[in-house]
Chain A
C-alpha cells in the first residue's frame, strides 16, 4: 500500500501539484467578483487566501512526520507546498492592502499599530528569504545552510497561527484548532529542533 502511494507520488510531476493547488486563487477571486462570497466580498476573499496559506504551511509540516512514521515519502512536494503557501500569503497581503485598507498610509499605520497585523507581516517577511531560495541553484549554493535557513518556516507558521487567533472577535474554535495542529506538528520535531 505504502509502496504504491510512493510509486504514484514519484510519477506525479510537481507542476501538476502547482497547477491544482493554484486553482483556488482565481476561482475564489471569481466568486468574490460574482457575488458568490456574499455582499461584502473583500473580507471573505482576504480570509480565504490567508486560510489556504496556513493550510499549505501545515501541509508542508506534515511531510517529514509522514515519512518518519508511515514511510509515505512526499518530500519531493515539500518545496512546492512552501512556494504555494508563500504565494497565498502574498495574495492575502495584496487583497488586504489594495482592496481592504486601500491607502498606503493606513497600511503602514496598521502594520505598526496593530499587533496582530505586525505579527502577520513578520510571518510574511520570514517567508520571503525562503521563497527566494526555493530553487535548485540556491539549494546547491547554500548546502547545509539551506536546511537551517528553511527552519524559519517553524516560526512563520506559529506567527500565522497567532495572527489568526488574534484577528477573530471573541474566542473562536477554528483558529484554536489550527494552532493545536501546528503545535502538535512542531512537537513531533521537538528533539530535532533542540539539536
Chain B
C-alpha cells in the first residue's frame, strides 16, 4: 500500500445524537425566516462537516432491490438473510474461493471513516462508516499481476428482495473499479455505521464505499468479487450509458443529462436549506486526482 488514509474527522466531530436532534429542531425553526445564507457560502471545510443523524442515513436509501422509493429499503430490507454470508472471490487471484463473512471479519481491523456521500441525484450526506480497506481484503486473496479491474456483484434473492420482481435494472446489480481505485486507501468495505452493524438497507453485511464517486458505485450486500483484466460491466452504465459512465467520479463540471451536478442538497437541511456547491471528487481531490492524471474526465465521466 502506498499510504494509509488519515481521517481528519474524528469521533469528536460526530454530534451526540440527542444534541443533534435538538439542533435540527432549532434549525427548522430558524431556517424558515432567517435562511442559512451564512452557513452555505464557500467550500465545505472538513471541520464544519456534521455527520447526518443515524435515522437519516438508515431511513433514506437507494437500494432498488427493495423498492425505488427512498423509504422502501428501510421498510423491506429486514427480509434479507445476512448471516451466514459468503463472498466468492475469484478471477485473477492466488486464493480464489468462498470466503465466510465471519472469517473476513476476523482477519480485518475495523476502523471508523467519516466520509461525504454524494448521490448522482444531487443529494448528499456525511456518514460515519465502520469498515476496513478493500486493499486489505484483496491482499488476503492475493491479486495477480495481470489483474487490472475489480468487479463486484450484489446478492440476487427474489424471495427476500421484493424490488427484483420488476426489471427496474438488469439484476443482479454489478459494479466495478479499476484496480488502482480499488487499492486506494480511501476505498473501504463498510460493515457498520455509527459503531453499529450496518443495517440491511445500507448494504449489510458488507458494502463498498468509494467516497469520491457517485453513490451508486458503492455497491451493497456484496456476494462476489472478481479480479479481471477487462473493464467490467456496471449496472447503471448498462441501463443508460449516455448518463452513467464507468468512472462516475463526482464532478461539478460534468453535467449529468438530467441533473446538474454543480450543486447538491444536504439531506437533513430541511425545506428551505440552500444548495451547496459540489466539490471536485466530492472533496477528495487532493487524495485521488492523481489516479486520473492525463485522462479527459469529460470523456471518461
Contacts and interface: CB of A to CB of B under 8 A. Distances in A.
Instruction: Indicate the member of B123, B257, B275 with the most A CB atoms within 10 Å.
Output: B275
B28 interface: yes
Interface in B144-180: 166-169
A41 interface: yes
Contacts of B85: none
B275 A102 contact: yes
Interface in B264-292: 265, 267-268, 270-272, 274-275
B237 to A, nearest CB: 12
A39 B262 CA distance: 21
Contacts of A109: 260
A156 B75 CA distance: 35
Contacts of B267: 39-40
Interface in B11-53: 28, 32, 52-53
B265 A40 contact: yes
A8 B247 CA distance: 61
B270 A106 contact: no
B59 interface: yes
A38 B71 contact: yes
Contacts of A113: 255
A42 B271 contact: yes
Interface in B81-130: 121, 123
The dominant DSSP class at the B interface is loop
B258 interface: yes
A45 B55 CA distance: 20
A44 B71 CA distance: 11
Nearest to B258: A114
A44 to B, nearest CB: 8
Interface in A103-160: 106, 109-110, 113-114, 116
B60 interface: yes
B271 A33 contact: yes
A171 B167 CA distance: 7
A77 B255 CA distance: 44
B271 A45 contact: yes
Contacts of B28: 33-35
Nearest to A34: B28
A169 B68 contact: yes
B274 A116 contact: no
B68 A172 contact: yes
A35 B55 CA distance: 12
Instruction: Indicate the member of A32, A33, A38, A173 with the most B CB atoms within 10 Å.
Output: A38
Contact of A171 (B52, B168, B260): B168
Interface residues of B, number: 33
A112 to B, nearest CB: 12
B78 interface: no
A170 B168 contact: yes
B70 A40 contact: yes
Contact of B60 (A34, A39, A102): A39
Contacts of A40: 60, 70, 123, 265, 267-268
Contacts of B64: 170
B123 A114 contact: no
B62 to A, nearest CB: 8
B59 A39 contact: yes
A118 to B, nearest CB: 12
A99 B239 contact: no
A42 B264 CA distance: 12
A42 B268 CA distance: 11
A116 B60 contact: no
B56 interface: yes
A114 to B, nearest CB: 6
A168 interface: yes
A99 B272 contact: yes
Contacts of A169: 68, 121
Contacts of A99: 271-272
A38 B168 contact: no
Nearest to B235: A170
A167 B52 contact: no
Interface in B187-236: none
B274 A39 contact: no
A114 B272 contact: no
Interface of A: 32-35, 38-45, 99-100, 102, 106, 109-110, 113-114, 116, 166-173
Return the 4 tightest CB-CB contacts between A and B, nearest first: A39-B56, A170-B168, A40-B267, A39-B268
6 contacts: A32-B271, A39-B60, A45-B271, A109-B260, A171-B166, A172-B68
Given A172-B166, A173-B166, 7 more contacts: A34-B28, A38-B70, A45-B271, A102-B275, A106-B260, A116-B258, A166-B258
